[in-house]
Amino acid sequence: MIDFLPSIRQLFAFVFFITGIYFLLSTAVGLIRFPNLYTRLHAGSKCLMAGGISVFMGCIALEGISFVSLKLIIILAFLLITNPIAIHVIAKFDNNYNLIPKVYTKEDFEK
């Protein structure tokens, strides 16, 4: 009898990986193309987190129930906690202290 479980597991893993690659690519593109700091932070928070979750879920699906999966879940939990905090700190710092950008964009000149 053909064992379908590894094939289904691999299928799930690759779907997760492709989703993760799309979101991580959009993070990189967004960080370059978006006009100002806040919109870039949006790309850096949401797309990065969705990409990270997808890639980690793919790794967990590929690995199955094991000790390595537990490690991956813990790393994912740390990512879920630390990324919003870092983004919030950057946004708060810019809001309160009016940071001067090193390279000006069109929106900075308009401001």
Write out the residues near another protein by the rule CB under 8 A: 22-23, 26-27, 29-30, 33-35, 38-39, 41-43, 45-47, 49-51, 53, 67-68, 70-71, 74, 80, 83-84, 87-88, 91-92, 95-96
- For another protein, the closer of residues 3 and 111 by Cβ is 111
- For another protein, the closer of residues 8 and 70 by Cβ is 70
d(CA 16, CA 64): 14
Q: To the nearest whole angstrom, how small is the minimum distance from the Cβ of residue 10 to another protein?
A: 22
Q: To the nearest whole angstrom, how small is the minimum distance from the Cβ of residue 102 to another protein?
A: 21
* Residue 69: C-alpha distances to residues 45, 66, 74, 83, 92 (Å): 24, 5, 9, 21, 35
Sign of torsion over alpha carbons 45, 19, 33, 75? positive
